[in-house]
Structure 1
């Protein structure tokens, strides 16, 4: 097995458990910015992930003075992990994100999301004008995403959760083959797989059962600048689906990262950061551009 000791100083993105809504406790990391404090970047991870997967962007944007917010979805990382499937209803997860936006939003706000988190983020953006008319999101960077719901309810995930736990080694192998490019650093892959051992498969099963995904036709309402990035070897959310999403969004740009799988912000952090900076430039939000 690859040595993951290079990651012994992690996690970098550390949070505190907060009751975000009655009975719902999430681990939220908040970094108040300096000379770009009135621009807040919100990071939403994917299913089975955690907020520390944003560590490379987090480190860079701390240095650039932005305010940052990242959270572990319910059932993930250091957040609470209720066993009731209804706790992971799509509407409940979207409501959690809306409350995070309400609490931490500033004058300018940017959403960065990955995989399952992109669906939640898009649903939250669609709900924003009615739920939080006082909050504006100025741009979005979406990684490893799709136009239509990418998650299947059938196959092995139809089995009881206790059976899935027995099959965890098989599931982990399949995920590794589909999620990572063959050139990915084996130490990184080993470290991330070590973290996933904390994930309970009853949570993932509940996510699959409850996932709804935003309505494709409704996406035309989202006119904020959006950048969609895909990995050329993503076996979970193929690039073609991300391109279809970008075509559906009125002001979206699309880019494929070479030699990259599903974990874009971990496999190609420099390219993801460059795309983020390009978006900030178009929004006139780069450090030094505003007084």
Structure 2
């Protein structure tokens, strides 16, 4: 589905069903250097069970036109324009990693537009290793391999994919490698620069779910547990033996957790 958002073409997958703005809407927001395809299983279930789905390619990523907003706050102010373009008054937001920061800030700045908020792979601050940032700024391919090595739990890098014949690590590397290097570098910078997390957490009044990987080293479980207690109406669900890329590492369990929170 193509949308005109502030004069730019934005692509969003709809889970295999035509988008109907009259149904409850769920908007999926991917992380840095990813696209709508990371939500394939989750979006399809919601689309076939009474919801309308928008799995975004954020500006400058996937099929969507750039430029990419240069801060989490700018992304958050872009989100209502996206909802307006789709004819949606209010939606549940599901964000992963950088997308979780965007979802959080959107819910804080535009509370009337967000019904529920699910934060996957979330922590604050979301600091980026300076060496990783330098590699991203240089455009080096090494950053793609390092990023994926940290995202996916070690045990899940060596087989065990739920889909026969697929290799999760290679698939994820290929996805990140397709993203423009300048967008990957900018994504790291805006995650590292975001400082409003504590105030945003205090401002959010809608129901909030944090979905955390037990073995996530990018946004550690201990940090996620701490923030879950700070929301007015928050909860945390933990995925065992799972790293940061939970939609691929534990796709069924991720879907079950989202179903229990959004559709429950």
Aligned counterpart, 1:101:
83
For 2:46 and 2:248, how far apart are their aligned partners in 1? 15
Contact 1:227 1:275 in 2 (8 A): no
Bigger Cα displacement from structure 2, 230-239 vs 90-99 = 90-99
Aligned counterpart, 2:109:
127
In the TM superposition, 1:87-236 aligns within 5 A as: 87-104=69-86, 106=88, 109-129=91-111, 133=112, 135=113, 137-146=114-123, 148-152=124-128, 154-158=130-134, 161=137, 164-165=138-139, 167-168=140-141, 170-184=142-156, 185=161, 187-211=167-191, 212-236=194-218
For 1:21 and 1:107, how far apart are their aligned partners in 2? 17
Deviation at 1:232, TM superposition (A): 1.1
Partner-residue secondary structure (3-state), 1:38 = coil
Partner-residue secondary structure (3-state), 1:265 = helix
Q: Say yes or no: does 1:73 pair with 2:58.
A: yes
Question: What are the ranges of 5 or more consecutive residues in structure 1 without an aligned counterpart?
Answer: 1-14, 283-291
Aligned counterpart, 1:245:
227
Over 3 Å counting, the alpha-carbon distance change for 1:178 and 1:93 in structure 2 is same
Deviation at 1:153, TM superposition (A): 6.6
Over 3 Å counting, the alpha-carbon distance change for 1:218 and 1:112 in structure 2 is closer
TM value normalised by structure 2: 0.84
Partner-residue secondary structure (3-state), 1:64 = coil
For 1:268 and 1:59, how far apart are their aligned partners in 2? 16
Aligned counterpart, 1:9:
none
For 2:171 and 2:152, how far apart are their aligned partners in 1? 13
- Give the number of equivalent residue pairs: 252
Contact 2:11 2:64 in 1 (8 A): yes
Over 3 Å counting, the alpha-carbon distance change for 1:263 and 1:105 in structure 2 is farther
Question: What are the ranges of 5 or more consecutive residues in structure 2 without an aligned counterpart?
Answer: none
Deviation at 1:213, TM superposition (A): 4.9
Aligned counterpart, 1:29:
13
Bigger Cα displacement from structure 2, 24-33 vs 194-203 = 24-33
Q: 1:78-136: per-residue Cα shift (whole Å, max 9, x none)?
A: 12244xx8x4233332222121123336476311110000111111111114xxx5x3x
For 1:33 and 1:27, how far apart are their aligned partners in 2? 13
For 1:199 and 1:40, how far apart are their aligned partners in 2? 27
Bigger Cα displacement from structure 2, 119-128 vs 263-272 = 263-272
TM value normalised by structure 1: 0.77
Contact 2:104 2:200 in 1 (8 A): no
Deviation at 1:280, TM superposition (A): 3.5
Partner-residue secondary structure (3-state), 2:178 = coil
Of residues 20, 25, 34, the one that matches 1:40 is 25
Q: Over aligned residues, Cα RMSD in angstroms? A: 2.5
Deviation at 1:37, TM superposition (A): 5.0
Deviation at 1:274, TM superposition (A): 1.5
Contact 1:44 1:71 in 2 (8 A): yes
Bigger Cα displacement from structure 2, 182-191 vs 119-128 = 182-191
Partner-residue secondary structure (3-state), 2:126 = coil
